[in-house]
Amino acid sequence: MTNLLLKNVRPMGQPATDLAVVNGRFAETAPPNAEPVDCGGRILIPGLVEAHTHLDKSLLGLPWYRNEVGPRLIDKITNEREVKVSLGLDPRIQSERQSIQSIGYGTTHIRSHVDIDTHHGLAGVEGVLATREKLAGYVDIEIVAFPQSGMIIRPGTVEKMDEALSLGADIVGGLDPCGIDRDPRAHLDAIFGLAEKHGKPIDIHLHERDALGGFSTEEIIARTVALGMQGKVTISHAFCLGATDRAYVGDLQAQLAEARIHIITTAPSSAPVPAVMELRALGILTGAGSDGFRDTWGPYGNGDMLERAMYVGQRNNLRRDDEVEMALDICTFGGAAIMELADYGLAPGCKADAVLVEGETLTEAVVTRAPRKLVLKGGKLTARDGVCVLTAP
């Protein structure tokens, strides 16, 4: 492996310096054989962390899909299950396409929810597992076994989830225990049961709003504490924490902090969202993700986690530079902490997963979102000028 000397580089926007990469990790000093890389005074940040996406369902690379779907969540779920068949969507190819696009934007770690249902079985998980193996060394992929179509309303799904976790899925997923499965007790008992059986963490989608989402949150907290799973449970979306009754939300958040439950937001502009500054003030680990993009749910999104940091900032009305830097921290160190990434960061000894970005300051890098000059994964060049070195299928 080539050792590197990153010259004239500004780690986290600090004054320019030289940074050594030895055996794929940042190091105090470079050996004489290190290859110099002129960074032109650009800012270096650690690899962007995509903490919530859906690699199996993007339509990237296909002819434009004209969206004429109905307004309800269940309309979108049903439509997607059918369109996967009519388009012959291949989760292996789609996940590879999306991952390669993400690498071009500087993402080095991805947590992907992957659909599991009685119609498509484990096809999604098998496809993303194949992509994970193929792209090893370019991007790290975590797989959440995700019952997108419900578990209790579709008997046989829990068994498929169980198989997926045996097959290599890392995390137990879940979805709106009231809103989709209409049986919060059965839904939550099932996913916590799977987590206990496989010794794996949980990351549950919770779109339920206001008191309904609050109720589900309390039930998640209760099970987390009862099973001693503090620090191992994440709630994605958590729209209920964006409720207008801030006293009620404050109480919920205090309980979440005590149970060490993490929050991942996609900072959508059309739904209530958790207030990230409040979460961070309480010590709740907070990450961010693109959610699914360019899929049957909607046309928006591209996997750019600098753009996502901008969305997090805009949605939370973060205007000061220190606040925008916090939004970026959520898209880097925040997600990394939730994913318990070892050796993440720019310090000596950390894995050299990093991105060279354009801008005078971190905030300028976030708001301009210029093509990434260079992306490193374990000290290896994986993208240049916004384009991954790998070619998408």
Residue 310 β-bridge partners: none
Q: Among 91-99, 107-115, 227-235, 265-273, which window interacts with its own copies (CB under 8 A)?
A: 265-273
Candidate residues 174, 179, 184, 313; the one interacting with its own copies per rule CB under 8 A: 313
Rounded CA separation 44/41 (Å)? 9
Using alpha carbons only, how large is the chain's radius of gyration in Å? 20
How far is residue 170's CA from residue 272's CA, in Å, rounded to a whole number?
A: 29
Closer residue to its own copies (CB): 181 or 291: 291
210 lines the binding site for its own copies (CB under 8 A):
no
With CA atoms as reference, report the closest residue to 113 among 197, 181, 172. 172
Select 59 or 190, whichever has its Cβ closest to its own copies.
59
Alpha-carbon gap, residue 142 to 111, rounded angstroms: 5
Among 28, 68, 88, 247, binds its own copies (CB under 8 A): 68
* Cα(291)–Cα(52) distance, integer angstroms: 5
Q: Percent helix, strand, coil in the chain (nearest 5)?
A: 35, 20, 40
* 223 near its own copies, rule: CB under 8 A: no
Count of residues in contact with its own copies, rule CB under 8 A: 39
Cβ(18)–Cβ(6) below 8 Å: yes
Q: What are residue 102's phi and psi, to 5 degrees?
A: -65, -40
Q: Which of residues 268-287 bind its own copies (CB under 8 A)?
A: 268-271
Q: Please identify, using beta-carbon distances, which residue of 129 and 356 lies nearer to its own copies.
A: 356
Q: How far is the CB of 267 from its own copies (least distance, A)?
A: 8
Residue from 8, 321, 337, 389 touching its own copies (CB under 8 A): that is: 321
Tokens standing for 135? 């792209």
> Which positions from 69 to 98 touch its own copies by CB under 8 A, shown as an x/- string?
x-----------------------------
Are the C-beta atoms of 145 and 200 separated by less than 8 Å? no
Question: Which residues within the stretch 361-390 sit at the binding site for its own copies (CB under 8 A)?
Answer: 361, 363-364, 366-368
Binding site for its own copies (CB under 8 A): 63-64, 66-69, 244, 267-271, 294, 297-302, 310-311, 313-317, 319-322, 324, 359-361, 363-364, 366-368
